């Protein structure tokens, strides 16, 4: 029997006094129930990890300097700062502060959250800095002079919107923003790109390209690499498909590649990463492959395509990064990373030297105007190490993070659960394994996002050190085994995501790692939808659930904020054929007044302008109306990330772990 089909639509009003009063009335009992000595201990421990100076300050090369954005206890909103490589390699680098965001927020009486700079290359003299109010996706964008360390009086400035900008020259920008009525797509993103010249009113900027209102967004970017300048325009027709053009002498030249492929253009080289099989002449290149060729040859139709990387049943492409002369290739094999260095032209591959074995390794930064590269390597119980060197050359450790929890006796194992259709689904178990223990199972399962074995600093201190077990499920919908792992679970096959996660939950109990009463799960955003489905479809598998910034009302998700952009992932509920399969799992529509549900904590953010907080509010109200136990917390700031600074992130983590320990581990207290 379903409950609460539509009575709670008023909770979608993000600014309404009634809705905000409802939020406050629900926050208070949740905090009353979860606050206490253990909550404060967890919050303090996590905040200590987030704020400690012993963290690695991850760098980004811009010209002669390495830049870093840093938050700590004294600077909760953060510092944009820089240093030299020589200074960075010392134990105590000499940081030169370019912008103090806390000082700016105080001076302007705004709750600014850093959203990043667009810096002009190769000059590195000007930046368009994006600032978010409270962590929202929409930002204010303002011109900043990196020489004077001041915002440019009378310079380029955009009001709050989901904007993007790219430098054409020091007096010209390509701008995608809200230009007024009719300039945004149904997904809430800009659909028009304009060329905006210094001193010109924004309303008079020249239109250079328009997407359709039904598209997700417009694309506009400029590469200013000397001798290899490129301007690209285009449009996302849905979340995964885009039509792209190179601009040559004022003309648009369409790039004839599969619309669902990803491109990387570097100097004279073009890389094509395939999501679907692509037949070129008599050759069929498989989904998941990486192809390389010379860009001008590709435009002229004379390209000689080389398959740089071909996936197999156990491996997938995780990412590529360029230095000036080399391509860095990161792949996953059964969710373990492998790094290779590729020489363009010959496309010969060799293992990157000095990468620690049995770690998750990513490229932190690579210099596309030189051959410098920084790697970060870590594991679930192995703190991060920052490695520095040149692409293909030897590497040296330049920074390392401390251990934030005692890992002796804590093991890491990979298992495979058999899903309902027979698919083997990998998952990692991190814990002591001496007896069934309170277990935190985490999953996502969407948009081809892969979950890899990174260091569990906060979870290690807040959960593992207290005797808990942590599990990470690599279910379909992610990208751990390439685009096929994701595409299998799109739209009408979405049920596979939930069957995979349920199979992992059941396998944990079958192996004696935990019990149903001790098994909790959490997820956010698309993972919050996963938690909603676990609640309504598989409640018998869990002792507790934590559902963060979630999608839950799949009948209306496409009408709220950026929801229309995800129709390609989930389906269109206005299409009866699509709603037929979506209605079977949509959590809000499948609530039952008679079912027995595990306790659930639902969290969201008032400033989330990506997934509407109305999803979380309505679900909470409907659960209460049906007589189920639910705790609710809504952060007034935070955006889709749920937290605007380290204090808020630590507070949110403490809510999660205190709730899970109260419901799953109280017998150990």
pLDDT at site 667: 47
Closest by alpha carbon to 378, among 356, 406, 408? 356
- pLDDT per residue over 15-25, tens digit each? 567 778 888 99
Structure tokens at 209: 């390209």
What is the pLDDT, as a whole number, of residue 12?
Answer: 75
For 259-310, write each residue's pLDDT tens digit. 999 999 999 999 999 999 999 999 999 999 999 999 999 999 999 999 999 9
For 296-333, what is each residue's pLDDT tens digit? 999 999 999 999 999 999 999 999 999 999 999 999 99
pLDDT, position 457? 94
pLDDT grade for 358, boundaries at 50, 70 and 90: confident
Which positions ≥6 away from 597 have C-beta within 8 Å? Answer: 535, 536, 539, 623, 628, 629
What pLDDT, on a 0 to 100 scale, did the predictor assign at position 22?
Answer: 87
Q: In the predicted model, is pLDDT for residue 666 greater than 90?
A: no
Q: What is the pLDDT of residues 599-652, one digit of tens each?
A: 999 999 999 999 999 999 999 999 999 999 999 999 989 999 999 999 999 999
Q: Tell me the average pLDDT across 321-346.
A: 96
The confidence score (pLDDT) of residue 357 equals 81
Q: What is the CATH number of domain 9-47+404-664?
A: 3.40.50.1820
The whole-number average pLDDT for the span 143-156 is 97
**Residue 665 vs residue 341, higher pLDDT:** 341
Confidence class for position 3, pLDDT limits 50, 70, 90: very low
Query: What's the token pair of residue 503?
Result: 């199979």
pLDDT score for 555: 97
**What are 68-101's pLDDT values in tens digits?**
999 999 999 999 999 999 999 999 999 999 999 9
Give the C-alpha separation, 287 to 604, whole Å.
36
- The backbone torsions φ and ψ at residue 180, rounded to the nearest 5 degrees and listed phi first, read 115, -170
What is the structure's pLDDT at 647?
A: 95
The rounded Cα 363 to chain-centroid distance in angstroms is: 16
How many Å apart are CA 370 and CA 121, to the nearest integer?
13
How far is residue 582's CA from residue 590's CA, in Å, rounded to a whole number? Answer: 11
Q: What is the pLDDT of residue 15?
A: 57
Residue-wise pLDDT for 100-110, tens only, equals 999 999 999 99
Q: Is 500 exposed, middle or buried (0-12, 13-18, 19+ CB in 10 A)?
A: buried
pLDDT in tens, 174-205: 999 999 999 999 999 999 999 999 999 999 99
- The model's confidence at residue 8, banded by pLDDT at 50, 70 and 90, is low
Is the pLDDT at 1 greater than 50? The verdict is: no
- Strand residues in 334-438 grouped as ranges (E): 336-343, 348-351, 360-366, 372-378, 385-390, 395-400, 411-418, 424-431
Task: Using CB atoms within 10 Å of the CB of residue 603, give its burial: 0 to 12 exposed, 13 to 18 middle, 19+ buried.
Answer: buried
3-state secondary structure string across 628-644: CCEEEEEECCCHHHCCC
Q: Render pLDDT for 565-606 as a digit per residue (tens, 0 to 9).
A: 999 999 999 999 999 999 999 999 999 999 999 999 999 999
**pLDDT digit string, tens, across residues 204-213:** 999 999 999 9
pLDDT above 70 covers a percentage of the chain that reads 97
Q: Is the pLDDT of residue 4 over 50?
A: no
Q: What percent of the chain has pLDDT over 90?
A: 94
Across-strand partners of 283? 280
CB-CB contact of 169 with 542 (8 Å): no
Classified as helix, coil or strand, 13 is coil
Name the one residue in this structure whose structure tokens are 């379903």. Answer: 2
Taking residues 546-562, what's their average pLDDT?
Answer: 97
Strand blocks (E) in 543-639 = 544-548, 600-605, 630-635
Residue 6 has pLDDT above 70, yes or no: no
Q: Is the pLDDT of residue 14 over 80?
A: no
Summarize pLDDT for 410-461 with one digit per residue, the tens.
999 999 999 999 999 999 999 998 899 999 999 999 999 999 999 999 999 9
Question: What number of other Cβ atoms are within 10 A of residue 667's Cβ?
Answer: 8
CATH code of the domain occupying 111-255: 2.130.10.120
- Catalytic center residues: 525, 640
Which pTM value belongs to this model? 0.95
Can you tell me the distance from the alpha carbon of 288 to that of 290, in angstroms, rounded to the nearest whole number?
A: 7
Residue 5 confidence (pLDDT) above 60: no
Mean pLDDT for the chain overall:
95
Tokens 């955003």, located at residue: 525
């Amino acid at each position: 029997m379903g409950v609460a089909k539509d009575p709670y639509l008023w909770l979608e009003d993000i600014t309404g006094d009634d809705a905000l009063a409802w939020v406050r009335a629900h926050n208070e009992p949740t905090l009353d129930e979860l606050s206490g000595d253990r909550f404060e201990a967890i919050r303090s421990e996590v905040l200590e990890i987030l704020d400690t100076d012993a963290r690695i300050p991850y760098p980004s090369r811009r010209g002669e300097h390495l830049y870093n954005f840093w938050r700590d206890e004294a600077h909760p909103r953060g510092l944009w700062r820089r240093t030299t490589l020589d200074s960075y390699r010392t134990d105590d680098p000499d940081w030169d502060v370019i912008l103090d965001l806390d000082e700016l927020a105080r001076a302007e009486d705004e709750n600014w959250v850093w959203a990043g700079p667009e810096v002009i290359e190769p000059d590195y003299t000007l930046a368009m800095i994006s600032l978010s109010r409270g962590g929202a996706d929409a930002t204010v964008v303002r011109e900043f002079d990196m020489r004077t360390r001041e915002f440019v009086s009378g310079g380029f400035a955009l009001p709050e919107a989901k904007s993007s900008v790219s430098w054409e020259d020091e007096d010209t920008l390509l701008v995608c923003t809200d230009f007024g009525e009719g300039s945004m797509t149904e997904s809430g993103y800009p659909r028009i790109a304009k060329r905006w010249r210094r001193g010109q009113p924004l309303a008079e900027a020249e239109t250079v390209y328009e997407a359709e209102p039904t598209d997700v967004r417009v694309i506009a970017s400029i590469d200013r690499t000397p001798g290899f300048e490129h301007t690209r325009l285009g449009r996302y027709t849905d979340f995964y498909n885009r039509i792209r053009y190179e601009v040559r002498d004022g003309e648009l030249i369409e790039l004839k590649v599969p619309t669902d492929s990803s491109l990387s253009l570097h100097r004279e080289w073009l890389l094509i990463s395939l999501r679907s099989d692509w037949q070129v002449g008599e050759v069929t290149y498989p989904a998941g492959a990486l192809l390389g060729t010379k860009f001008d040859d590709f435009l002229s139709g004379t390209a000689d395509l080389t398959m740089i990387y071909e996936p197999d049943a156990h491996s997938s492409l995780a990412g590529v990064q360029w230095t000036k002369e080399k391509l860095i290739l990161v792949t996953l094999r059964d969710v373990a990373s492998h790094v290779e260095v590729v020489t363009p032209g010959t496309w010969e591959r060799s293992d990157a030297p000095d990468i620690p074995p049995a770690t998750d390794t990513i490229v932190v930064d690579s210099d596309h105007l030189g051959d410098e590269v920084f790697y970060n390597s870590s594991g679930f119980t192995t703190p991060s190490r920052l490695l520095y060197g040149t692409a293909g050359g030897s590497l040296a450790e330049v920074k390392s993070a401390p251990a934030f929890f005692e890992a002796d006796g804590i093991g890491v194992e990979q298992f495979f659960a058999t899903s309902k259709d027979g698919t083997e689904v990998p998952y990692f178990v991190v814990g002591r394994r001496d007896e069934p223990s309170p277990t935190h199972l985490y999953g996502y399962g969407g948009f081809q996002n892969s979950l890899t074995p990174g260091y569990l600093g906060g979870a290690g201190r807040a959960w593992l050190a207290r005797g808990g077990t942590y599990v990470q499920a690599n279910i379909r919908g992610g990208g751990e085994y390439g685009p096929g792992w994701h595409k299998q679970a799109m739209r009408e096959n979405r049920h596979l995501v939930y069957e995979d996660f349920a199979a992992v939950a059941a396998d944990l109990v079958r192996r004696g790692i935990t019990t149903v009463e001790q098994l909790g799960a959490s997820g956010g955003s698309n993972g919050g939808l996963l938690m909603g489905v676990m609640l309504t479809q598989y409640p018998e598998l869990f002792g507790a659930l934590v559902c963060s910034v979630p999608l839950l009302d799949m009948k209306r998700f496409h009408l709220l904020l950026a929801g229309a952009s995800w129709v390609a992932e989930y389906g269109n509920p206005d299409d009866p054929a699509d709603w037929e399969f979506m209605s079977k799992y949509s959590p809000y529509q499948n609530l039952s007044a008679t079912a027995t549900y595990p306790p659930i904590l639902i969290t969201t953010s008032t400033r989330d302008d990506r997934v509407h907080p109305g999803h979380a509010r309505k679900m909470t109200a409907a659960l209460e109306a049906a007589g189920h136990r639910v705790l609710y917390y809504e952060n007034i700031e935070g955006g889709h990330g749920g937290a605007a600074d380290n204090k808020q992130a630590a507070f949110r983590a403490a809510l999660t772990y205190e709730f899970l320990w109260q419901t799953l581990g109280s017998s150990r207290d």
